[in-house]
Amino acid sequence: MPACAAQAYEEIITWTKDPLCVLRSPTTSLNECEWDLARSIAKKLIQIRETILGGGAGLAAPQIGSNRSIFIFTPDRTTEGLKVAINPVFEPIDAQLIDGEEACFSIPLRCTKIKRWKTIKAKYQDLQGNIVEEILDDFSSKVFQHEIDHLKGKLTLDHETARVLTFSDPEAFIEYMKHVHLEDSKSYRARGLKK
């Protein structure tokens, strides 16, 4: 079964069960004296992705109850490709948009059609404190923008261009998401990344 939000998980805050409104509050950046904290949040995000969710393209601190600016993401859904982004920002390279479909572990049984920038220049700090700059496009760009939205307190449902598909049957949702994942994989396969 592909890792997808076919159910709510106790460890993940969802939009319908968020008493402290952490999902809809902006996060604060981490300063250089807080790298131990950054490491512990990253460790928890990675551990939950691996042991509870069984994968996933990204996970942001607010989804596990932290209001700090950090998330994990992978450009090709693999664990080997996983990166930690601290204090991330981005800017679009040009005006080109892509139509994507996105699920979110904080929004079970929903898939949102949404417009995103096709190509972005991403900038963030890694766990060593180095500044990383990279050009992301298609799937990886979409994931990065999705996770940045989490740090701004914005969910896919809140997006101006959102069209939301709601599923009542987890099996139907899983089947639908298999096709979404297949479509996503075309962009990173084309670039020669793994899987």
**Footprint on this chain of Zn ion (rule: CB under 5 A):** 104
Q: What DSSP letter does each residue of 73-95 carry, written as one string?
A: E-TTS-STT-EEEEEEEEEESSS
d(CA 51, CA 44): 10
Question: What's the min distance (Å) between Cβ of 100 and Zn ion?
Answer: 13
Rounded to a whole number of angstroms, the minimum distance from the CB of residue 119 to Zn ion is 21
Least CB distance from residue 23 to Zn ion, whole Å? 9
* Closest-CA residue to 147 (of 105, 190, 194, 94): 105
Please say which residue, 35 or 55, places its beta carbon nearer to Zn ion. Answer: 55
Indicate the residue among 99 and 131 with the shorter CB distance to Zn ion. Answer: 99
- Smallest CA-to-CA distance from 165 within 154, 152, 153, 175 is with 175
Q: How far is the CB of 129 from Zn ion (least distance, A)?
A: 26
Residue 72 CB: number of other CB atoms within 10 A? 22
Positions annotated as catalytic residues are: 147
Q: Which residue lies nearer to Zn ion by CB, 12 or 86?
A: 12
Q: What's the residue count for the chain?
A: 195
C-beta separation of 165 from 112 below 8 A: yes
